[in-house]
């Protein structure tokens, strides 16, 4: 396998609902990536596209729609869906194509327009799709799943409501410094603790909404392009994981879970991160910047443990002691996280990778981590989807 580098990245800043279509946002992100990489469109030899699930036929063939905007060249275009880890899947396919020598330069992108209102069931066959059951009979919007796990954590490890609020305080401080973020207001502990419960113990400011956004990454093994790029970022590993039998986590859309654990919690992310550590040769102790999926304050805490940055039950102390701040040994979510962005389903994993790349390239302005060498983007999607990307200069 060849060494593969990120040479160009582009983002359409995260925002709320828009009347514009996903391809408009995708084009902005891809244009940005091409300019950053300083490569012509004709150099792109494969497109790995995250699909836009609410976009009908066009959304499910997002790669073809994107290609036609920039000019069709006959290259392989593959469209992929892995829930909120879709971006990880597109990047991994692009990486594997380039690393294996099938192509020299490839594009991964995802673009999502927030649906109006809440996410809900997308079919009506309860036998085929148990998501129908959870919406029709279960009364189970996504944050309830997080709240059920959060309550277990509070009982088991003594996580407090202040800990959950502190995550938002920290994320809002960083999000305010990120031009790509949707939410730029900073919050005090009191303001977060005074916000309404959505599903007790999680409050309005402790869960992330759905957003609109797009992200694109151009990777290459072409030595000429690498030499011309501004601080190319090496991909040391980009992996995906699925769940393991006996994982006790109650997964979004499921109606049951095992009561006797035979695998780690969030085993899809345990698996993806351990694969990445093995392939890259780096471990948690080597990571300077970590972007983790803080869909809620609970996720922020549990992901530090799932990915091995501390032992089970120790994440709260890491947070309270400031060990996850910019300036500490490990900077967690200097972007402001999902808390400051919201989820743009097929784009968010790529956006996390871009934040890591921008940190390594020293482009992050007021939220810049000092001289980072290794960064890790960790995402996760419902029903057992996860991706990890480890990068270095």
Partner 1 sequence: MENMANKVARIPNLVDWSTGEVRLMSAKCNSCGTYFFPKEHYQHRPGCSREGVEDILLPCKGKLASYTIQYYPCPAPFKTDKKITPYGIGLVEFEDEKIQVTGIITETDLKSLKIGMQMETTTLEMFTNEEKQQVVTWAFRAVK
**Least separation in angstroms between CB 39 and partner 1:** 44
**Least separation in angstroms between CB 379 and partner 1:** 23
Q: Judged by CB under 8 A, does residue 148 bind partner 1?
A: yes
The two beta strands, 331-332 and 289-291, are parallel
Q: Judged by CB under 8 A, does residue 366 bind partner 1?
A: no
Query: From the list 58, 75, 78, 144, which residue makes contact with partner 1 (rule: CB under 8 A)?
Result: 144
**Least separation in angstroms between CB 82 and partner 1:** 19
Which 3 state secondary structure label does DSSP give 289? strand
Q: How many residues bind partner 1 (CB under 8 A)?
A: 42
Q: What is the DSSP string of 16-27?
A: S--SS-HHHHHH
**Least separation in angstroms between CB 247 and partner 1:** 10
**Least separation in angstroms between CB 44 and partner 1:** 39
Give the residue from 286, 223, 303, 238 showing the smallest Cα distance to 7: 223
Q: Judged by CB under 8 A, does residue 17 bind partner 1?
A: no
**Least separation in angstroms between CB 310 and partner 1:** 23
Q: Among residues 17 and 197, whose Cβ is nearest to partner 1?
A: 197
Please choose, out of 74-82, 128-136, 285-293, 319-327, the segment that lies near partner 1 by the rule CB under 8 A: 128-136
Please choose, out of 59-67, 116-124, 208-216, 357-365, the segment that lies near partner 1 by the rule CB under 8 A: 116-124
Q: Judged by CB under 8 A, does residue 155 bind partner 1?
A: yes
Q: Judged by CB under 8 A, does residue 196 bind partner 1?
A: yes
What tokens appear for 166 in the block?
Answer: 């502190």
Q: Among residues 151 and 274, whose Cβ is nearest to partner 1?
A: 151
Q: Judged by CB under 8 A, does residue 141 bind partner 1?
A: yes
Please choose, out of 2-10, 52-60, 87-95, 243-251, the segment that lies near partner 1 by the rule CB under 8 A: 243-251
Residue 197: CB atoms within 10 Å: 12
Residue 259: CB atoms within 10 Å: 6
Cα-Cα-Cα-Cα torsion 67, 69, 72, 78, nearest 10 degrees, comes to 10
Please choose, out of 56-64, 80-88, 104-112, 124-132, the segment that lies near partner 1 by the rule CB under 8 A: 124-132
Burial of 386 from C-beta contacts in 10 A (0-12 / 13-18 / 19+) = buried
Please choose, out of 82-90, 141-149, 224-232, 309-317, the segment that lies near partner 1 by the rule CB under 8 A: 141-149
Q: Judged by CB under 8 A, does residue 254 bind partner 1?
A: yes
Contacts of 105 (CB under 8 A, 6+ apart): 39, 43, 44, 45, 98, 218, 219, 220, 221, 222, 225
Site string for partner 1, 197-226 (x = CB under 8 A): xxxxxx------------------------
Half-sphere exposure of 375 (CA within 13 A, CB side): 32
Peptide bond into 201 cis (omega under 30): yes
Q: Please say whether the beta carbons of 180 and 335 come within 8 A.
A: yes
Q: Please say whether the beta carbons of 367 and 174 come within 8 A.
A: yes
Computed on alpha carbons and rounded to an integer, the radius of gyration of the chain in Å comes to 20
The rounded distance, in Å, linking the Cα atoms of 330 and 189 is 22
Half-sphere exposure of 299 (CA within 13 A, CB side): 28
The two beta strands, 105-112 and 47-50, are parallel
Q: Judged by CB under 8 A, does residue 121 bind partner 1?
A: yes
What does the binding site for partner 1 look like in residue numbers (CB under 8 A)? 117-118, 120-121, 126-127, 130, 132-141, 144, 147-152, 155, 196-202, 245-246, 250, 254-260
């Amino acid at each position: 396998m060849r060494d593969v580098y990120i040479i160009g990245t582009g983002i359409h800043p995260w925002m709320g609902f828009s009347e514009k279509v996903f391809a408009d946002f995708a084009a902005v992100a891809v244009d940005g990536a091409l300019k950053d990489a300083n490569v012509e469109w004709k150099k792109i030899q494969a497109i790995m596209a995250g699909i836009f699930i609410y976009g009908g036929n066009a959304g499910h063939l997002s790669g073809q729609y994107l290609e036609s905007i920039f000019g069709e060249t006959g290259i392989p275009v593959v469209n992929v869906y892995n829930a909120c880890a879709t971006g990880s899947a597109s990047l991994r396919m692009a990486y594997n194509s380039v690393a294996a020598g099938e192509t020299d330069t490839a594009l991964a992108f995802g673009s999502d327009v927030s649906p109006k209102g809440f996410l809900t069931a997308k079919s009506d066959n309860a036998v085929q799709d148990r998501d129908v059951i959870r919406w029709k009979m279960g009364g189970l919007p996504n944050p309830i799943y997080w709240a059920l796990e959060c309550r277990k954590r509070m009982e088991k490890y003594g996580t407090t409501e202040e800990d959950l609020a502190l995550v938002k305080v920290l994320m809002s401080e960083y999000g305010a410094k990120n031009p790509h973020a949707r939410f730029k207001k900073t919050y005090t502990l009191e303001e977060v603790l005074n916000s309404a419960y959505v599903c007790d113990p999680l409050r309005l400011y402790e869960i992330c909404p759905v957003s609109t956004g797009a992200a694109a990454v151009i990777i290459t093994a072409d030595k000429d392009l690498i030499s011309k790029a501004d601080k190319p970022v090496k991909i040391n590993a980009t992996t995906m994981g699925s769940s393991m039998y006996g994982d006790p986590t109650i997964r979004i859309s499921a109606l049951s879970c095992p009561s006797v654990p035979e695998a780690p919690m969030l085993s899809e992310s345990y698996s993806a991160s351990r694969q990445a550590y093995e392939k890259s040769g780096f471990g948690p102790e080597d990571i300077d910047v970590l972007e983790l999926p803080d869909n809620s304050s609970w996720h922020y805490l549990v992901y530090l443990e799932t990915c091995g940055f501390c032992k089970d039950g120790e994440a709260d102390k890491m947070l309270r002691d400031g060990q996850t701040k910019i300036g500490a040994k490990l900077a967690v979510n200097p972007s402001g996280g999902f808390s400051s962005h919201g989820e743009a389903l097929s784009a968010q994993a790529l956006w996390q990778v871009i934040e890591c790349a921008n940190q390594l390239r020293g482009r992050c302005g007021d939220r810049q981590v000092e001289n980072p060498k290794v960064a890790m983007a960790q995402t996760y999607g419902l029903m057992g989807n996860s991706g990890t990307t480890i990068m270095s200069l």
